[in-house]
Amino acid sequence: MQFQQLQYFVAVAETRHFTRAADLVHVAQPSLSQQIKALERELGADLFLRARGNITLTDAGEALLPLARRILADADTARHEVQELAQLRSGRVRLGATPSLCTGLLPDVLRAFHDRYPGVRLLIEEGGSHDLVRELARGALDLALVVLPLPTPSPALTTVELLREDLVVVSSPDAPRPGRGRRTVRVCDLEGERLVMFRHGYDLRELTVAACRAEGFEPDFAVEGGEMDAVLGFVRAGLGVAVVPRMVAARSGRGLRVTPLARPGLHRTIALAHRSDVAPPRAARELQRMLLER
């Protein structure tokens, strides 16, 4: 089995078209087809069902695809690791994080990292913990900041707890203060409040809804489906209140009233995750150290 054959196989699997796959990997279509057939002979199984205008994966192809993607991703990581120059003058870090962490935790750390290693490219991917875990597993990320517990525990990942963050309630200063004007709000006080809610798959959405249900009521959504910036904007406009991380609220500037949650409050645990079977590249290890020492 040759590395190039796996590249061609993944290209066909993703495009479902031999000619387009050949264009993608910059090779003549007959050469690509020959290499795919050679790979099938090597494996002793057909990888594609070939019908005119319709290319689909066989069961063997479906089984090979995630493995091939991981092999190619690992090779790409190795290439970048070897190409890094002394003292981290070049390289890249592929970091995944939830949108709220991109707003609250990361700016200061990334600024410090960039000041120290200006030649290292920072590639940031925002997403929910579930998506980030999947991207880590297939080798598309070096590190990810995720919320514990993981939606699907994975023995292939190593996680290190980074911080435990308080959640607060934000509202418009022009709207009545939530919790009947008290200086702190209990979760049960959110019953009857109109909530501005994040989209499905957002860790904060699941946490807030679960907390409300634990108090015996279903939350009432004024508007739902937004990312962090949209949610904060809707709250400023007076559409409702939202539960957000304290760091995000502190960075959001004017136009928001911040009310703490009464003890025991709501919290979330943030962890730094990476694959257990592959060491992060050198630049990623340095960013990891800075995050853990922040």
Per-residue pLDDT, 72: 92
List, for residues 104-118, the tens digit of each pLDDT value. 789 899 999 999 999
- The DSSP annotation for 110-130 comes to HHHHHHH-TTSEEEEEE--HH
What crossing angle do the helices spanning 18-25 and 29-43 adopt, rounded to 10°? 100
| H helix intervals, the chain | 3-15, 18-25, 29-43, 59-83, 99-104, 106-116, 129-137, 203-214, 228-236, 246-251, 282-293
SS3 content of the chain, % helix, strand, coil (to 5): 45, 25, 30
List, for residues 45-92, the tens digit of each pLDDT value. 999 998 777 899 999 999 999 999 999 988 887 777 666 555 577 788
137 pLDDT above the threshold of 90: no
Among positive and negative, which fits the CA dihedral 201, 205, 207, 209?
Answer: negative
Cα distance between residue 229 and residue 244, in whole Å = 11
pLDDT mean over 273-277: 92
Q: Residue 31 CB: number of other CB atoms within 10 A? A: 13
Per-residue pLDDT, 247: 87
Taking Cα atoms as reference points, which of 250, 218, 217 lies closest to residue 100?
A: 250
Per-residue pLDDT, 81: 67
The least confident of 23-27, 35-39, 74-78 is 74-78
List, for residues 186-231, the tens digit of each pLDDT value. 999 999 899 999 988 788 898 999 999 999 999 999 999 888 889 9
| Mean pLDDT, the chain, whole residue set | 89
* Percentage above 70 pLDDT, the chain: 96
Bond prior to 281 in cis (omega within 30° of 0): no
Q: What's the DSSP call for residue 185?
A: B
CB 196 within 8 Å of CB 286: no
Per-residue pLDDT, 258: 94
pTM higher than 0.85, yes or no? no
Phi, psi of 76 (to 5 degrees): -65, -40
Per-residue pLDDT, 155: 73
Q: All domains of the chain, ordered by start, with CATH?
A: 3-71 (1.10.10.10), 80-162+270-293 (3.40.190.10), 164-269 (3.40.190.10)
Per-residue pLDDT, 181: 77
pLDDT mean over 251-259: 86
Per-residue pLDDT, 127: 86
Confidence label for 254 from pLDDT (cuts 50, 70 and 90):
confident
Confidence label for 234 from pLDDT (cuts 50, 70 and 90):
very high
The residues, ordered by sequence, that sit 6+ positions from 26 with a Cβ below 8 Å of its Cβ are none
Per-residue pLDDT, 87: 52
Taking Cα atoms as reference points, which of 166, 136, 168, 167 lies closest to residue 151?
A: 136
Cα distance between residue 209 and residue 207, in whole Å = 6
Taking Cα atoms as reference points, which of 234, 225, 182 lies closest to residue 205?
A: 225
